[in-house]
Amino acid sequence: MKKLFRLFTKKENSEQTEHQPTPIDTDLPQNLTYIKNSLGESTDIVIRKFKIGEKRTVKIAVVYTDGLVNESTVHESLLETLMSDVRQTQLSKQALNKGMYYTVRDHVLTAGELDELETLDDVLLHVLSGDTVLFLEGETKALCVSTRGWQDRGVEEPSTQAVVRGPKDGFTETLRTNTALLRRKIKDPNLWITTQAIGTKTKTDVAVVYMNGIANEKIVKEVHKRLNQINIDSLLDSGYVEELIQDETYTPFPTVYNSERPDSIAAGLLEGRVAIIVDGSPFVLLVPALFMQFFQSPEDYYQRSDFATLVRLIRFIAFFLALLTPSAYIALTTYHQEMIPTSLLINLSSQREGVPFPALVEALIMEVTFEILREAGVRLPKAVGSAISIVGALVLGQAAVEAGLVSSAMIIVVSLTAISSFVSPSFNFAISIRMLRFLFMILAATFGLFGILLGLIVLALHLASLRSFGVPYLSPLAPYITSDQKDTILRFPRWGLLTRQRLINQKNIDRENMHKPKPTSRSPKKGDSS
Amino acid sequence: MKESITRYQFISLVILFEFGSSIIVGLGLEAKQNAWLVILLSMIGGILLYWLFTRFVSSYPDTPFPQVLQIVAGPYLGYLFIWVYIAYFLYIAARVLRDFTMLTAQTILHETPLIAVSLLFMLVVCFACYLGIEVIARTSELFLPFILLMGGLFLMFVFIMDLPKIHHLQPFFNQDIGEILSFVFPTGVTFPFGELIVFTIIFHHLEDPLKSFRYGVTGILYSGTSLLIISVTILMVLGPMIAMNSTVPLLDTISLVNLQGIIQRLDPIVIIIMVITGFFKITIFFYAAVAMLQYLFRLPRRDSKGLIGFMGILVIILSILISPNFVEHMKEGLDIVPIYVHVPMQMIIPSFLFLLLFIRNKRNNQ
């Protein structure tokens, strides 16, 4: 298998030659021609040339990309100040003597973020990122003003991981908005954000966010190391990063957690995990991700603890139902009829009398049909949605039974599986169950209960062998850590959650020292009454 | 990176290993009414034997067992012992595999060919050994609560149904002490307690190898007590004669449970216990053999796919050739193997090695 992949992945590295950056020329028109040529005279690039200074002697050019800049910022703090305000204000002799470039840099531009560029490649990168670049005649440096401001989706309620109670804001496609959403939740100087650009063509900003002093330094280092190893031309979604930094490729289980919810990511950061935000994707990654994390929803912490524990148990049951219901049905009806109560067995066999297929084929037909329906449902335009649901109900319903294709018990099995697989709060985790279900069905059809049990053992072995950024995937169940059981299957009341998870974080373990709230005594103290 | 095993993991490995096959076929049932005494005495004997096995690790905590063998017995004799133990572990793995394929065929897969069952079982065992002892230990930790839960359910339902009858246990001491001891030695001590010799391979993976005796004894006490309770329950339910002659007394016991027609046919409980504990028993024996071979050939774990696959096929063939039918297989297992295989491997060779170790330590101290 790996050899096969290597065949496709092997590539010659000879064509990559070191690209020499072009410096900025003193001649203004030459610089502008270079920019025009490199961008193929693209129509969205705006180049505005004019002259400034008291006697209008200094030639200047402003370059920006239309649509990526905030028009009003460009007009007010750049063009207007340069063209009219400069002449009206009396600048000191000293300032003027230093040269027009320094005057503009130190006295004229009112923008908050200012940068000096020395090569034309940098200029191109900044122009294409939405910054505005100023060229002055006779200077080998260009001024870069941050004027980024493009049309984007506002902060909306996330479409995945919906909650009944809890914050309703969701990440957007803009990196800055996303970091701001996290800062709004954690106003601590230890929330550290480092950014780097990945992708030789897309130059996508990728931010690594962690709580300094809480996050395990080894994991932070490991994240940086793996991100630096990425050598790819395009990075369009955080899914790319997830696939490139995960520990194990050949596994159906996700070893990187993703969420659209700032509260979920903030909670992860406070536990000592590391978040990775990719510009252009509302899905923020969180590592290390453990098996048990995929059974937990942010809402567990907003509802009462007893209810949260109950819901988690239900998710567990649903996990096993989604995984094993069809295979258990196949095993019982094919191999172990003696394990079914007699009256039920008679019912089942009378239903199956008219069905021409063995149980496995019957189950496969229905499961595949359901998977097709689900896939169709995701891609459909909303207007056609209701039509599909009607057809779906017919295919997966009484009509299928009456046509003699499947037994009605099979309908119940498929529906139970379908509903259970939607319970998982994490979509990518549910996918792994969907895939494994078919393996278990084949095992059940060939070896019955024995096959299912061996399948479960293999599953457990595989899960136990996985690691996410060095942390065992099944912890704190295996290796068993007593102190972490408070927030694994159970969810203790808040005053019981005093320590952070042990394997994720090793030094800053204590959370705030909360005490069990006690109501103040109702009867006034003896001393008070007098 | 060295693979390491925590305390819980080691104890759960010991417990599941002890449960393997003995919980299914019943322990000490041949002793009829005195089964409890036989198990108790066997357990004490087992702890003494286990103390002997841990002597080597307390002198050389971080050294793999094959290397200890070569240090203690000298390079040539040690080399011989390594091969003897590899053969022993493989043989027992094949025996247990045969046990379990037979039981599976008898209980659930009546028409599936034996070789298909053993092939699938061995495939999983090989996969586990390829992943290494750390993963096996974590998996055991994960499955132990389920097995305990299943055992608890078994006891609960049997007692709710009021199936156990105390008169099946009476009269006490109807056999003389010599007869009782004949059940304790060699059968009771060697199976399943003496088989813990296989854990000598694992000791140096423990986080604190010096505590291997304490952890192991905890495991033996838990598993021994559970086995005692299960055996006595089976005896009280089925009566001594049926219990002794049944191949799977646990299954016969649970099939009697029928609570108002709602809770009945609880056979899956026994099947789950059987497959999971059997898996761990075979895996640990097989892992021990593989680990010793890896040591001999200086093979890293990730490069030993071929070796594991080859040994796996060997065990399957061995398990089929071992005996022509079930009756002969059981007869061998109960009468011949304990005296001629277990006793030399679990008592004579370790005692001899311990003697050598003792002399060696004495000489070093002077």
- Kind plus residue range of the DSSP H or E element containing A117: strand A114-117
The answer to whether B109 contacts A480, with C-beta atoms less than 8 Å apart, is no
- Domain residue ranges of chain B, discontinuous segments joined by +: 7-365
Q: Phi first, then psi: what are they for A206, rounded to 5°?
A: -125, 125
Search chain B and give the residue with CA nearest A338: B265
Show which residues on chain B lie within 8 Å of chain A, measured between beta carbons. 6, 8-9, 104, 108-109, 112, 116-117, 120-121, 124, 127-128, 131-132, 135-136, 138-139, 141-143, 261, 264-265, 267-268, 271-272, 275-276, 279
pLDDT digits (tens, 9 = 90+) for B253-300: 998 888 887 788 888 889 999 999 999 999 999 999 999 999 999 988
Is residue A323 located within the same domain as residue A379?
yes
Long-range contacts at A331-335 (CB < 8 A, ≥ 24 apart): A331/A444, A331/A445, A331/A448, A331/A449, A331/A451, A331/A452, A332/A449, A333/A359, A334/A358, A334/A359, A334/A360, A334/A444, A334/A445, A334/A448, A335/A448, A335/A449, A335/B108, A335/B109
Asked if A44 contacts A65 with a C-beta cutoff of 8 angstroms, the reply is yes
Is residue A354 located within the same domain as residue A390?
yes
Which of B103, B140, B142, B272 best probes binding to A when mutated, by most A CB atoms within 10 angstroms? Answer: B142
Sign of the dihedral defined by the CA atoms of residues A136, A141, A145, A148, in that order: positive
Average pLDDT over residues B188-208: 91
Asked if A119 contacts A147 with a C-beta cutoff of 8 angstroms, the reply is no
Which of A2, A3, A440, A457 best probes binding to B when mutated, by most B CB atoms within 10 angstroms? Answer: A457
**Residue A111: strand, helix, or coil:** coil
Q: What is the ipTM of this complex?
A: 0.95
Cross-chain CB nearest to B141 (options A450, A458, A479): A479
Q: What is the pLDDT of residue A3?
A: 58
What is the rounded distance in angstroms from the CA atom of residue B116 to the CA atom of residue A448? 13
Q: How far is B131 from chain A (nearest CA, A)?
A: 7
Going from the C-alpha of A104 to that of each of A81, A87, A435, the distances in angstroms are: 10, 12, 62
The answer to whether A460 contacts B139, with C-beta atoms less than 8 Å apart, is yes
Cross-chain CB nearest to B265 (options A341, A447, A453): A341
Cross-chain CB nearest to A450 (options B109, B261, B264): B109
Which of B139, B258, B287 best probes binding to A when mutated, by most A CB atoms within 10 angstroms? Answer: B139
Q: What is the pLDDT of residue A397?
A: 79
Is residue A344 located within the same domain as residue A378?
yes
What is the rounded distance in angstroms from the CA atom of residue B235 to the CA atom of residue B253? 9
Cross-chain CB nearest to A457 (options B104, B108, B276): B276
Is residue A463 located within the same domain as residue A314?
yes
Q: How many CA atoms lie within 13 A of A107 on its CB side?
A: 18
Task: Give a yes or no: residue A91 inside a domain.
Answer: yes
Cross-chain CB nearest to A461 (options B121, B127, B265): B127
Is residue A333 located within the same domain as residue A440?
yes
Tens-level pLDDT at each residue, chain A (530 residues): 555 556 555 544 444 455 678 888 888 888 899 889 888 888 999 998 888 776 777 788 999 999 888 888 888 878 888 877 666 666 666 666 667 778 778 777 777 788 888 888 888 988 998 889 988 888 888 888 888 888 888 898 988 888 889 999 999 999 999 999 999 999 999 999 999 999 989 999 999 999 998 888 899 999 999 999 999 999 999 999 999 999 988 999 999 999 999 999 999 999 889 999 999 999 999 999 999 999 999 899 999 999 999 999 999 999 999 999 999 999 999 998 888 888 888 988 888 888 888 999 999 999 998 888 888 888 888 777 777 778 877 777 788 888 888 888 888 999 999 999 888 888 888 889 989 999 999 999 999 999 999 999 999 999 999 999 989 999 888 888 888 888 888 888 888 787 888 777 666 667 766 566 666 655 555 544 44
The answer to whether B108 contacts A478, with C-beta atoms less than 8 Å apart, is no
Is residue A342 located within the same domain as residue A250?
no
- Which structure tokens are listed for A362? 């019957």
Domain that holds residue A182: 175-289
Distance between start and end Cα atoms, chain B? 37
The answer to whether A461 contacts B104, with C-beta atoms less than 8 Å apart, is no
Is residue A261 located within the same domain as residue A309?
no
Is residue A231 located within the same domain as residue A343?
no
The answer to whether A450 contacts B139, with C-beta atoms less than 8 Å apart, is no
Is residue A333 located within the same domain as residue A465?
yes
Query: Which among A247, A263, A289 is the end of a domain?
Result: A289
Burial of B28 (0-12, 13-18, 19+ CB in 10 A): buried
For A304: left if phi > 0, alpha if psi spans -120 to 50, otherwise beta; the answer is: beta
Cross-chain CB nearest to B108 (options A448, A460, A464): A448
Q: What is the pLDDT of residue A355?
A: 86
Q: What share of chain B is helix, strand, coil (3-state, %, to 5)?
A: 80, 0, 15
Please state at what angle helix A238-245 crosses helix A217-229, rounded to 10 degrees. 110
Nearest residue to A220 (alpha-carbon basis) of A507, A512, A463, A511: A507
The answer to whether A341 contacts B275, with C-beta atoms less than 8 Å apart, is no
What is the rounded distance in angstroms from the CA atom of residue B283 to the CA atom of residue B125? 5
Q: Counting every residue, how long is chain A?
A: 530
Is residue A323 located within the same domain as residue A424?
yes
Set of chain A residues whose Cβ sits within 8 Å of the Cβ of B116: 447
Burial of A246 (0-12, 13-18, 19+ CB in 10 A): buried
Burial of B76 (0-12, 13-18, 19+ CB in 10 A): exposed
What is the rounded distance in angstroms from the CA atom of residue B295 to the CA atom of residue A460? 27
Q: What is the pLDDT of residue A529?
A: 44
What is the rounded distance in angstroms from the CA atom of residue A486 to the CA atom of residue A492? 5
- Which structure tokens are listed for A437? 């279900």
Q: How far is B227 from chain A (nearest CA, A)?
A: 23
Give residues 337 to 356 of A whose Cβ lies within 8 Å of B: 338-341
Is residue A344 located within the same domain as residue A429?
yes
Nearest residue to A119 (alpha-carbon basis) of A19, A44, A209, A201: A19
Residue A144 CA, chain-centre distance (Å), reads 31
CATH class of B7-365: mainly alpha
Q: What is the pLDDT of residue A522?
A: 59
> A457 touching B, CB under 8 A?
yes
Task: Give a yes or no: residue A23 inside a domain.
Answer: yes
Cross-chain CB nearest to A454 (options B9, B124, B135): B124
Which of B275, B286, B308 best probes binding to A when mutated, by most A CB atoms within 10 angstroms? Answer: B275
The answer to whether A461 contacts B139, with C-beta atoms less than 8 Å apart, is yes
Is residue A208 located within the same domain as residue A352?
no
The answer to whether A477 contacts B265, with C-beta atoms less than 8 Å apart, is no
Q: What is the pLDDT of residue A98?
A: 67
The answer to whether B142 contacts A477, with C-beta atoms less than 8 Å apart, is yes
Q: What is the pLDDT of residue A89?
A: 63
For A115: left if phi > 0, alpha if psi spans -120 to 50, otherwise beta; the answer is: beta
**Residue A97: strand, helix, or coil:** helix
What is the secondary structure of A272-296 as a DSSP string?
Answer: T-EEEEETT-S-EEEES--GGGGG-
Q: What is the pLDDT of residue A8?
A: 58
Question: What total number of domains does chain A contain?
Answer: 3
How many beta-carbon pairs under 8 angstroms link A with B?
86
What is the secondary structure of A62-80 as a DSSP string?
Answer: EEEETTTB-HHHIIIIIII
